Structure 1
Amino acid sequence: MSFEIRKIVSYVEETLIEGGKATDKPVTMVGLAVVMKNPWAGRGFVEDIRSELNPHASELGELMVKRLIDAIGGADKIEAYGKAAVVGADGEIEHASAVIHNLRFGNHYRQAVNAKSYLSFTNKRGGPGTSIQVPMMHKDDEGARSHYVTLEMHIEDAPRADEIVVVLGASDGGRLHPRIGSRYIDLEELAAEQAQ
């Protein structure tokens, strides 16, 4: 089995104003999607997905990470990251999950940006033009709510019924004007309330 890639799609979004207030530092979010044939579609229930996937997951991860880093202008610019996969109607959610949750795939991204946080994710089923959401978090601090952001994109002709769309997302910042504090502030406040 090898991945048959039909197309590679890049998406770039730059936000300059949020809530009517401009920013001195725009935030750029980038999505890099690979549209590939689902190697398990049409084969019935395939018991051993991992052994078929493992020899090829690293190559896909390496390709996608390189292109994503090039699109955003360097690994050092990435503050928040995430991943997503959408399987077409003839596939299982497990097929989409298998690709993005394989460490041979994801470790390329984590290592390239020296991340400490896990890669947040979504996986779902959809047809051509379906909305693809890539949830992201700070690569080093899972509690930094300022970097809980979501890149949303779609590809008009993907996924076809026998395809999987695999996406990596990156952001060079968090929301423009974060004001809700970190998760740690809530934990401290809750602990203080319970102590009273």
Structure 2
Amino acid sequence: MPEPEIRKLLTVVEEIHHEGGPRAERPLMRAAAVAVVKNPFAGRYEPEIKGFMEDLKPLGLMMARRLLDALGGDPKAVEGYGKGAIIGSAGELEHGALWHAPGGYAMREVLGGAKAIVPSAKKVGGTGARLDVPVTHVNASYVRSHFDSMEVGLNDAPRADEMVLVLVMTTGPRVHSRSGGLEAWDIKGEDGLR
């Protein structure tokens, strides 16, 4: 298949200083890289779609690098990540699953081998649809302080024959996290879970 046809790219950074409590010593940064691409399978059922994952790998790497740059360029500063896809109405949910490997492996590579599975969300939606992209700690999925999400969307996408592909990175736990559970400093780093 040919390389993905990109209509637009967006990189956005959110800086959170407090959530109603005391001002954080260091603001939480959440960033999203978004790509709107043509869905090559829109309007028809195609039994063999896996090849498109390979085509999406360079896009995933480019987006992950942009995201890291938007957060200052230091892989060690990134503590959380997630990914997602919104598929236009002429596509199907399974087309969003094609983003799992290219998006997840790109972030792991750019961050130097993060261990945790990259959480994901996907849906079929109309123009202007929004998606809450789940976020977990990059090295241990059970770190409760880093369970988070970032809402993303564009007012003009996805069109019926498009896909909105998203990567998200964060620089720390939720501001004012105090719900207990495994803490980042207790990570053993053995299995991507704890």
* Normalised TM-score (structure 1): 0.87
Q: Is the 8 A contact 2:83 2:103 kept in 1?
A: no
2:121 aligns with: 122
Shift of 1:183: 5.1
2:149 aligns with: 150
2:189 aligns with: none
Alpha-carbon separation, structure 1, partners of 2:106 and 2:149: 21
Q: How does 1:10-159 map to 2 (within 5 A)?
A: 10-42=11-43, 44-51=44-51, 53-74=52-73, 75-98=75-98, 100-102=99-101, 104-113=102-111, 114-159=113-158
Q: Is the 8 A contact 2:21 2:176 kept in 1?
A: no
Report sequence identity in percent: 38
The one-character-per-residue Cα deviations of 1:61-118 (angstroms, maximum 9, x if unpaired) are 11111111111112222100000000000000001111x223x442121122121100
Q: Which of the pair has more CA radius of gyration? A: 1
Alpha-carbon separation, structure 2, partners of 1:59 and 1:176: 33
Q: Where do 5+ consecutive residues of structure 1 fail to align?
A: 185-196
Which structure 1 residue ranges, 4+ long, deviate > 3 Å from structure 2? none
The one-character-per-residue Cα deviations of 1:126-165 (angstroms, maximum 9, x if unpaired) are 1222112111000011111100010112201011110000
Q: Is the 8 A contact 2:84 2:167 kept in 1?
A: yes
Secondary structure of the residue aligned to 2:84 is: strand
Farther off after superposition, 28-37 or 17-26: 17-26
Q: Is the 8 A contact 1:59 1:105 kept in 2?
A: no
Q: 1:105 to 1:149 in 2, by over 3 A?
A: closer
2:164 aligns with: 165
Alpha-carbon separation, structure 2, partners of 1:105 and 1:27: 22
1:174 aligns with: 173
Alpha-carbon separation, structure 1, partners of 2:178 and 2:19: 13
Alpha-carbon separation, structure 2, partners of 1:30 and 1:5: 20
- Counterpart residue identity of residue 121, structure 2: T
- Counterpart residue identity of residue 23, structure 2: A
Q: 1:20 to 1:177 in 2, by over 3 A?
A: closer
Alpha-carbon separation, structure 2, partners of 1:35 and 1:146: 31
Shift of 1:15: 0.6
Structure 1 vs Structure 2 CA RMSD: 1.4
